Amino acid sequence: MARLPLEGVRVLDLTVVWAGPWCTMLLGDLGAEVIRLDNPYLFPSSTKGFAPRVSKEMAEALGPIVGAFPDKDPGERPWNRHAMFNCHARGKRMATVDLSKDSGREAVLRLVEASDVLVENNAARVLDKLGIGWDVLHARNPRFILLRMPPMGLTGPYHDFVGFGAHFEAVSGLTAVRGYRDADPTSTTSVFHMDPASGATGAFAIMAALRRRERTGEGCFIELPQAENVMQQIGELFVDAARTGRAHEPLGNRHPTRAPQGCYPCAGEDRWAVISVGSDQEWSGLRKAMGDPEWAAEARFATAEGRRDAHDELDDRISSWTSGVDPYDVFHRCQAEGVPAGPVMTEADAFVDPHLRDRGFFRENVSSDAGTHDYPSHLWHWTGPEMNWGPIAGMGQDNQYVWREVAGLSEAELEQLDAEGHLSLDYLAPDGTPL
């Protein structure tokens, strides 16, 4: 029977927000057993919402991201219903433990002895403060692999600074080149590009470390500074700045060489389409898509240089055409003539898009608390065995399996953990009562 590449690998997940959970999700898709460890005394959780108890009215006021619950209903356990958590939680085992207590730390180290990898993307100081830094983990399991994803690294003047992707994307130079030409950085939205970029790189690094361990038998400590990772994705701008001293400015929807290129208003309320022309042939195709208007035949538009020089005018001309056309019609007319184009979809548009539905991109999954819904599926198709698509467990749901079967704790030890408040399905106040 065919096996997934990471089958037999056990990954401990001490992650937050998006970058870390995304990394462990990818590893789980490829067959790893991922065990997520939550501290029932730590809330708010940036991974599961902003408060343990949320009313429907609060969820409505918070909007579609922070208040993202099925049917806008937080339910009895909102942390198990929050979209940011559930989207990346498929197939993971869920356990709870309070690492601030000696008994919790020892229980986790017992788990380390029976595992292969730990992934964490907390602030740089957190792991050592909890007493489970690399030296401690390596001593308990010399074959162990630790991936740390601190925003700015573990050394340097900024190593202990905290923040989210939006802050460190700004520090890394990405925000300065991502906005519009005629606007200041306050108009630049927070897309948190750094998170999925870091998660994917982290999964790649872990697989490389696992391969190295096959050859050497040695564990590995991986430091992946997320800001440095995202800087690789605009590396050509750093090279050019070092060579010329040029300060790069935002391009908005334009391109250094392709013209016309832009995002154009279409028929309907706040509906748009993007179009890009990079050759004379594509310009000819756009002319046909627009019905070959008389103005488009002017000789000054016949060359790439002429079109770049007249970009502002062309944007106005093209907008006059698109403003009376449905964005999907713009899309199909341009594509029929070989012109790169597409509608600017909302998430609701993409969710029902016939292409994505035909490919099965959205796939049904079930959550212990959120019920059955469609979620984005795997990132790729391949001829290998079917990737994991497990259900979404709730916080603490696998405590018995994790601590008894994996960590090998005795019944007495398990009872002691329970008595000390480590095992819970709910977030707890300091006195141990459910929040």
- Per-residue pLDDT reduced to its tens digit, 30-77: 999 999 999 999 976 667 776 777 888 887 777 777 778 888 888 989
Q: What is the pLDDT of residue 46?
A: 66
Separation between Cα atoms, residue 97 and residue 117, nearest integer Å: 18
Q: Sign of torsion, CA 404 397 104 18?
A: positive
- Contact of 105 with 199, CB cutoff 8 Å: no
- Per-residue pLDDT reduced to its tens digit, 68-115: 888 888 898 999 999 889 999 999 999 999 999 999 999 999 999 999
**E-strand spans in 84-173?**
93-96, 117-120, 145-148
Q: Which helix (H) or strand (E) holds 325?
A: none
- Contact of 343 with 328, CB cutoff 8 Å: yes
Q: What is the pLDDT of residue 68?
A: 85
- DSSP-derived secondary structure letter, 434: B
The verdict on pTM exceeding 0.85 is yes
Q: What is 261-344's CATH number?
A: 3.30.1540.10
Q: What is the pLDDT of residue 289?
A: 98
Domain definitions of the chain by residue range = 10-232+359-419, 261-344
Residue appearing with tokens 């065990």: 35
CA atoms within 13 Å, Cβ hemisphere of 230: 28
Max intra-chain CA distance, the chain: 87
Structure tokens at 125: 């100081």
Q: 3-class secondary structure for 46-94? A: CCCCCCCCCCHHHHHHHHHHHCCCHHHCCCCCHHHCCHHHHCCCCCCEE
Rg (CA), the chain: 25
- DSSP-derived secondary structure letter, 165: H
- Contact of 229 with 197, CB cutoff 8 Å: yes
Query: Top-level CATH class of 10-232+359-419?
Result: alpha beta
- Per-residue pLDDT reduced to its tens digit, 320-340: 999 999 999 999 999 999 999
User: How many residues in the chain?
Assistant: 435
Q: Which helix (H) or strand (E) holds 317?
A: helix 311-322
Separation between Cα atoms, residue 165 and residue 196, nearest integer Å: 10
Amino acid at 5: P
Q: What is the pLDDT of residue 372?
A: 96
Which backbone phi and psi does 373 adopt, to 5 degrees? -145, 165
**Per-residue confidence in pLDDT tens, the chain, 435 aa:** 789 999 999 999 999 999 999 999 999 999 999 999 999 999 766 677 767 778 888 877 777 777 788 888 889 899 999 988 999 999 999 999 999 999 999 999 999 999 999 999 999 999 999 999 999 999 999 999 999 999 999 999 999 988 888 888 888 888 888 888 888 777 777 788 899 999 999 999 999 999 999 999 999 999 999 999 999 998 999 999 999 998 888 888 999 999 999 999 999 999 999 999 999 999 999 999 999 999 999 999 999 999 999 999 999 999 999 999 999 999 999 999 999 999 999 999 999 999 999 999 999 999 989 999 999 999 999 999 999 999 999 999 999 999 999 999 999 999 999 999 999 999 999 999 988
Amino acid at 324: G
Residue appearing with tokens 């010329």: 244
Closest of 351, 352, 330 to residue 341, by C-alpha: 330
Separation between Cα atoms, residue 3 and residue 30, nearest integer Å: 9
- DSSP-derived secondary structure letter, 432: S
